[in-house]
Each structure stands twice: as C-alpha cells, then as structure tokens.
Structure 1
Amino acid sequence: MSTHDPDHGGSDVALQEGDLPARFDNPGLPEHAHRLTDTDPKAARRAERQVAFLFVLSMIGTLVVLVGYFSVKFHDNLGFTEYLNRLELSNKVLGIGLAVALLGIGVGAVHWAKTLMPDEERIDYRHLQRGTDEERAEAVEKLATGAEESGFARRPLIRNTLIGAMALFPLPGLVFFRDTGPLPGDDLSTTFWKAGDRLMLDPEGGPIKASDMVLGAVAHVMPEGIEESEHPLNEKAKAAVLLIRLEEDKLAAESLPGAYGGIVAYSKICTHMGCPVALYEQQTHHLLCPCHQSTFDLTQNCKVIFGPAKRPLPQLAITVDDEGYLVAKEPFHEAVGPSFWERG
C-alpha cells in the first residue's frame, strides 16, 4: 500500500506490513571523474592545439577543393580518354578535399567537447511555466558561465581557427552552385526563332505550307536550321511550337496580327514548370498541360483559364513566304517557359 506524505514534498511513500515505511535514500550522482585536461594544464594546452590543428586541416581541405576545381581544366578538344582521366582526377581531388574539410570540423568539435568543455553531471528540473525574473536572470548567468567555461572566449586559438574553418567551408558550395549552368539571361530570354525561319515539322522534318493546315489540324514544328545549331538539344527545348488552325472569327483580336488565315503558333512550353503543352481539345479550343493540368484557351490568345500556370503561352507571329510555306514573321516578343528572376 502507499500513502501521501506531505512532509516529503508530497511524494508517495510505500508502506510494508505494520505500517513501517520502506524508503530508499536518494543515492545522488556518482562521484565525478576528472579528466586529465581538467587537472593538468599541459594536457589542456595540448588538447587545445590538437583541436586547432583539426580546424586548420579543415581549412586546408577546403582550399584543396577550390584549387582542384579551378586547376583541372575541361575543354572541347579533349579526347574521350583524356576527358575521363581528368574527370576521375577532378572527382578524387574534390572528394578528398571535401572529406578532409568535413572531417576536420567534425572531429575537432567532438574533441573540443570531450576534452575541454565541462562534463560534470547535472540535474535540471523542467517546468512548464515562465520562470520568475530571478530565475531568468540566473539562467542568463548560467549561460554566460557556460560560455566562459567552454573556453570559446578565453581560448582564442580554438575560436579563431574554428571561425576560419567555418568561414572557408561554404566556399566550394558557392562555386559548385555557380557552375550548375548559365545564369538566366539571354540564354533563357531568347530562342532560335528569327524572322524568315520556315516552320519545320517535328520530328519528321520538312517545311509545311499554309494549305496543308486544314481546319482543326495540329502540327508540332521547329525552326529551320536548328539541327545545325551549336547546342541543338538546348535550342529545341526552348523553340518547340504548336501550330493549330481554327476558324478565324474564333481568334481573339490581340492574336490576329500574329496569325495567318486562322493558323496560329504558340510556344509548346508550359509557363508553369516547362512541360510540353501538347493536348488539344478541338471542341473547346483548349490546350492542356498533362503535368499539372494548366489549361490555355486558344480563343483568348492562350490565356490561362485553369491550373497553376500564371502567364499565357507566348505567340509566335507567322506568315508565308513566296512559295507558300509558313515562316516566322519575327521572333518571340517574350521569354518562353517558366518564370525566372531576370525575366524581362
């Protein structure tokens, strides 16, 4: 059985037969075992130098990454074998450098905590209510004392080398992110289309005449000569266009200057996430993106009427040449595809 003992903080006291309490004294915390660095100043200084060495090692690893990144060159006239050799060397230098940089910071921090920071056992009772002003002031004092005991303020060698290691370590990440591709600018703002380019069927190739586009017909087209561009795959990803013919009186007034006899051409790249907008519903004259169901209305100059896309599909102004083939009247007036920061 048990009873509530108000004389002992309201705790429950277990009773044996005869109502004799069976209590156990609180054994408390075990006796603290001091480390060598707690009792020997020479050992503490030696540990401090070891921690600083590890942080300096991390700094060296970061510098190795940066030097290796810029010193191993790749250029177009490399042979396949030479390219693979340089790629392998680059991967090894970057991998080893990053490993040393991370290991130096991690092991140094652990060694610092294990040998120099306080390791005395303490018991802190949690409470859910806001402490009194005296308790809060005491907590601030304890934090300041802990910071002092950690040695961060009075061990400038460790502090400065840690700051140096942590300041250098993010640099490879900045370099790597910068090299993930060209900054958005002209590469994303312009396409291969220019005035006079014939509309070539994709993927079969060959020009297309206005007379070939019957009412309701849909064709996927690319600009003439795109296969001979320096980066054809990149250019195709931006230049894909959908060609559609519908009744001329169904077209919006703003789309008529870029149309030819009811034939309109719009970018095939969804303005939400860049998926191909290739589903055409002939009865409603809607274009549907299959990825996230953004819907564009051809009769409203491809205005977004449903889904997450925020901008209409850009229109490519078209006309015909002397032979009756459909050609671009002018390039796109705006960037195609999803938004980006530098978009005009």
Structure 2
Amino acid sequence: MSNEIELIKDPGLPAHVHRRADTDPKAAVRAERQVATLFILSALGTVLLVYSYLFVDEDIFFFIPVLGNTNAHQLGLGMGMAIALFCIGAGLIHWAKTLMPDEEVIAQRHEFKSEDEDREDFVKTVKAGAAAAGLGRRPLIKRTLGAALGLSAISPVLLLGDLGPLPGNKLKTTSWKKGTRLVTDPGDRPLRPEDLEVGAVAQTLPAIAPGEHRSLNDIGKDAVLLIRLRPEEFNLDAERLSWTYEGIIAFSKICSHMGCAVALYEQQTKHLLCPCHQSTFDVTRAAKVIFGPSARPLPQLPITIDAEGYLVAQAPFNEPVGPSFWERSR
C-alpha cells in the first residue's frame, strides 16, 4: 500500500523546464510583440474581407490581370477571412505557450454542487488567472486582441447582408409584357409565324431596345419555348386556345419543379421533358404534368402578331415561372 501511495505522490514526471520568457524579460517582450503582430494581422485580414465585400475592383489585384471582378471579389473574401481567423488563432496559441502561466495544477475531485464559498473562490481564481495571464501588465496584447476580436465580429454581421433585401415581386414577374416581340435565342431575330414549320421548336427571349443589356436573372426567368402544332391537335379550353396563334403555343422553359431547363421535345408524342428529374408535360393540354415530380404545368405565354406580322406577347405569363417559393400560394 505504501508503495502505491508513493507512486501517486511521485509518478516520475521529468523536472519542470522554464521557458525563456519566464526567465528573460527581453524574451517576454519579444513574445509579447509577436503575439500583438499576429493580432494586428488578424485585424488587417478582417479589413481586407470588408473591403473586398464592399469595394473590390479587379485593379487592386494588378499582379493577376486575368482575374476579373468576380474572381477578385472571391479571392479577397477568402484571403481576408483566412488571414483573420488563422492569425487570431495563432496569436492566442503563441500567447498561451510563451506568456501565460506555465504551472502544473492538480484539481481535486469535489461534489458537483458548489457552495457559496466555492463560487466566491471561483471568482477570485478567475481574477487571479487574468492577473497572472498579464492582461493588466500587458496593455499592448490586450488592445490588439480587442481590436482583432472586435473587427472579426464585423464579418458575420456584414455577410448577413446577403440574406436581403427581400425579393418583393421579382419572383412573380418577368420582362414579358403586352406587345413584347419574341426574338430568337441566340440571334435576337424577330419571328414570324411562317418561320416555324409544324413540329418545329424555337427558344426565344423578349426583345430589348438597342443598347440595353439582359441580366442573367432576366435570361433565367424569361426563356420561352415556341412549339408549332396543327391547331386541331390541341385539347384546350377556349381561353387557352386564344393564347395560341395558328398552332403556335409558348411555354416557359423553366421547369416548375426545380427550375431546370425543359429542353427536350418529343415530336411524336407532343411531350416536353425536363432532363433533370424527368418531369413530362403534354403540349396539347397546356403543358399539363403527365409524369414526374413537378406539381404544376409550365406557365403559358399568350401570343399573337403585331401590325408588322411578328409574334408578340398578348400579356405576361399567366402565373409565376419556375419552382415554388414562400409567397406563392401553390
């Protein structure tokens, strides 16, 4: 028994070796400056992230002229966040390994419920630990750590900006309106009814004024498929039939399931197929879903011709295009 007690009292650990910062004041000052430098670099990394998010321009990355705005933006965000997080972590580790107390402490077992005296002792211990860590004696570390932590807190707040603003009616509307011409994509060539033979399919977009530019969001919502059948092949009510012109019918190309491009047309069956999840729509019945996970038909674009004989929209889509979203009733 006595031998076991001896082993517990003296397990054979090597003698404690003091660090240079514990015995050499110059080494302690040098370590303090190294820690402060890492915290300053962390703060600069956060500044780079904020700058890249708000003001980035490809010219600041003059040494990589092929980047472009988008890649420069992503590079700045990534580098800024990496520098900020790495340097603040490295600074804390270096501080703990070189300047914080280097003593072996034994914590005795005790009951889980703490007495009032223990709580008071805990507060005293925390205060003593803070004093031993040198927060009071090392204002340079305290200030640079505060700056790094304070600036790093800006990053998540700033990135919350990507959650807004709310889309409003942008998800419900497209660029199509009454009188808008249908033009080929690509090519921007206006179409006449005689340009489409029976069985033909054409991808179209709304015409834009000279000098205007289509955004990617608009292209993603505005794409329309024109399909020409024989008028007697339709199985439509009077209103839907009035939205066609001489057997030409127009549907949104955006699948109502997950937003993929409905790109396959089976001429024999008169079916449109989405290649992503195999939703299948019957053209003769106003793109009614006959197979697959989609819950709604493709929105139909009412069409007619203008005074010059070109195909134009009678009105916008009969319902919002694409998959469901929160504000949509179904």
TM-score normalised by L of structure 1:
0.62
In the alignment, which residue of structure 1 is the partner of 2:47?
A: 63
Q: Unaligned regions of 5+ residues in structure 1, if any?
A: 1-7, 9-23, 76-80, 125-130
1:34 maps to what in 2? 18
Q: 1:242 to 1:105 in 2, by over 3 A?
A: same
Query: Which portions of structure 1, spanning 4 or more consecutive aligned residues, are displaced by more than 6 angstroms?
Result: 39-46, 85-88, 121-124, 143-150, 179-183, 341-344
Structure 1 residues 115 and 281, CA gap change in structure 2 (3 angstroms): same
Q: Measured at CA, do residues 198 and 70 of structure 1 come closer, stay the same or move farther in structure 2, by a change above 3 Å?
A: closer
Is the CA contact 1:219–1:244 (under 8 Å) kept in the aligned structure 2? yes
Match of 1:196 in 2: 179
Task: Report the Cα offset of residue 268 of structure 1.
Answer: 0.6
Q: Contact between 1:210 and 1:325, CA under 8 Å: does it hold in 2?
A: no
Gaps of 5+ in 2: none
1:85-144 deviation per Cα after TM superposition (whole angstroms, max 9, x unaligned): 9969x78x94876665345313212212212446567899xxxxxx99x36869x99x99
Q: Which residue of 2 aligns with 1:14?
A: none
Measure, in 2, the Cα distance between the counterparts of 1:111 and 1:184: 47
Q: Is the 8 A contact 2:190 2:310 kept in 1?
A: no
Decide which of 256, 279, 301 is 1:294's aligned counterpart: 279
Structure 1 counterpart of 2:192, one-letter code: I
- C-alpha distance in 2, partners of 1:332/1:159? 61
Task: Specify the alignment match of 1:169 in structure 2.
Answer: 152
Shift of 1:223: 2.6
Aligned CA distance change for structure 1 residues 303 and 100 (closer, same or farther; 3 Å): same
Question: How many residue pairs were aligned?
Answer: 309
Give the Cα separation in 2 of the matches to 1:286 and 1:339.
22
Alignment of 1:99-110 (within 5 A): 100-110=83-93
C-alpha distance in 2, partners of 1:277/1:96? 39
Q: 1:301 to 1:111 in 2, by over 3 A?
A: same
Asked if structure 2 preserves the Cα contact closer than 8 Å seen for 1:251 and 1:262, the reply is no
135, 138, 143: which is aligned to 1:155?
135
Q: Tell me, yes or no, if structure 1 residue 238 matches structure 2 residue 221.
A: yes
* Deviation of 1:317 (Å): 1.3
Which position in structure 1 is the counterpart of 2:193?
A: 209
Cα distance change of structure 1 residues 319 and 206 upon mapping to structure 2, 3 Å threshold? closer
Post-superposition shift, 1:33? 2.4
For 2:33 and 2:287, locate their aligned partners in 1 and report how far apart those are by CA, in whole Å: 68
Letter of the aligned partner of 2:175 in structure 1?
A: F
Q: TM-score, normalised by structure 2?
A: 0.64
The letter of the residue matching 2:221 is: K
Identity of aligned residues (%): 53
